[in-house]
Chains A and B, each alone.
Chain A
């Protein structure tokens, strides 16, 4: 167990740039852009004499709101919190994707694998430490950074509005920062399981390819998808070729991008719509965990486990140093 923790630590040392700095910088840039946007809006507003606060109109608006309107304000603030996470999430997807592709390949290329293999560490622990780094450590760091950025975003929005005469504490009580935090943290286990087939496939390519793991990882599924589309092979199983594209190609390559699991429970990740009645309920644990009850997720877990086992085998026996 101690060895395993050190292996994960080692991954963090080596990939500090992707795991820590990429989300931190993304969050920072996002906040900075927002800040600049707010300042620009304030400056333009002041220049053109549009000033809600001084005339007290905005405060009046608030005082005239009913409960439904209030919840919309809270919703908007929650969206502000999620929005910083959303952009970090995209970056996380790329980080995990390329981390997995390089994890078992880069050290073979620069031959430092010979150093790692000179230590009494089993190849199983090595590969599993990389799976854990990709699917648990990287998202956990990203979520923490996302939460910090989200809180900053929330405070920024609230402070801006408070300049216009709205009570900052009243605003903050309308938002649900703790629920948002809980939802983000609670999604990590779903992500781990959902991302497993992708992580497994990418690690397998990383352990197996003699050169250009990226090309193999992408070309193999895409080429087989094209063949299947041309020859209509899926027709044999009474399935459209699009099934293959969605459930094999996209699932295998893109599941490391967080949020994919919503497509099984809500028809499509793009279909996530925010409306005042359901609010952001889709992000609630009761909803995001619904993926846990789908066959799709568990088949993916089994396939992922097989792919990881194959990666371990190649890590043990691939001999090209």
Chain B
């Protein structure tokens, strides 16, 4: 199957900084990709390029279309929720549903109403009377009722409490995602999406520094916990990161021999956040 997104040499400069610096990647269909990076690494710029919201250099195809020139056609198949609270404040719930139903050829009104029934939203409620969590619920109900092939989420749960955040990702997984759909998500709350991701991309200074699926990630990176007596032996194997917790040393290895590590101590798959911190060391210095 054709990849949903192919990017080659994606570059975008703002005055004197490069938000995207020759980034190349490919995203196949049916994946949930976490695009993770520190502040200002180029995540949002990459998403904006994919959505045709910003001009850029390089080659980029989204569902076989060029977002710069074929944006209108592209948006029939692509949805996005960028940050929170982008719904217009004057709008009522039923206005939003009526409007999207009228202009979007792939919108399923019954589906949307079913999603809305599960929330406390009422048809006459205005966006400005809603809490942040409710606004996201409305936006999500609209978006999930659209049969799109690509869903782009840019910090979709920023500022929501944990109940809304959990519910957000759970709805996406249970009621929306299938093998014909692809989701790209950026967030700083990595721990919360770790278990739903199928793929992981780290971006730093406009470059893709890691692009892997979660299984391969578990093969390649290993976390090792040893007592202080064996720390030197572990250090000799050249870990990419080291920290100490309760007198034990924890090392992170990239592509080390698993059998050797297991001989030294307890091994496990590192969490995405630990891997992220190790990879991004020195970013702000």
Chain A residues at the B interface, C-beta cutoff of 8 Å: 2-3, 6-7, 10, 13-14, 107, 110-115, 117-122, 316-317, 319, 321
Contact = CB atoms under 8 A, between A and B. Distances in A.
Contacts of B163: none
B201 interface: no
Contacts of A10: 99
B125 interface: no
Contacts of B71: 316
A112 B48 contact: no
Nearest to B100: A119
Interface string B75-105: 1100111110111111100010001101111
Interface in B29-69: 48, 51, 53-55
A319 B48 contact: yes
Contacts of B87: 112, 115
B16 interface: no
A110 B89 contact: yes
9 contacts: A6-B102, A112-B88, A114-B82, A120-B73, A120-B76, A120-B105, A121-B103, A319-B55, A321-B82
10 tightest A-B CB contacts, nearest first: A112-B88, A120-B75, A6-B102, A120-B76, A114-B86, A319-B54, A122-B72, A115-B86, A114-B82, A3-B103
Among A107, A111, A112, A119, find the residue whose CB has the most chain B CB atoms closer than 10 A.
A119
Interface in B126-160: 139
Interface residues of B, number: 30
A112 B99 contact: no
Contacts of B139: 115
B33 to A, nearest CB: 19
Nearest to B54: A319
Nearest to A3: B103
B248 to A, nearest CB: 46
Given A3-B103, A111-B86, A119-B104, 18 more contacts: A2-B102, A3-B102, A6-B102, A6-B103, A13-B95, A113-B86, A115-B87, A118-B75, A118-B79, A119-B75, A120-B72, A121-B75, A121-B103, A317-B55, A319-B48, A319-B53, A319-B55, A321-B82
Nearest to A317: B55
A6 B97 CA distance: 12
A19 to B, nearest CB: 13
A303 B13 CA distance: 34
A3 B98 CA distance: 12
B88 A107 contact: yes
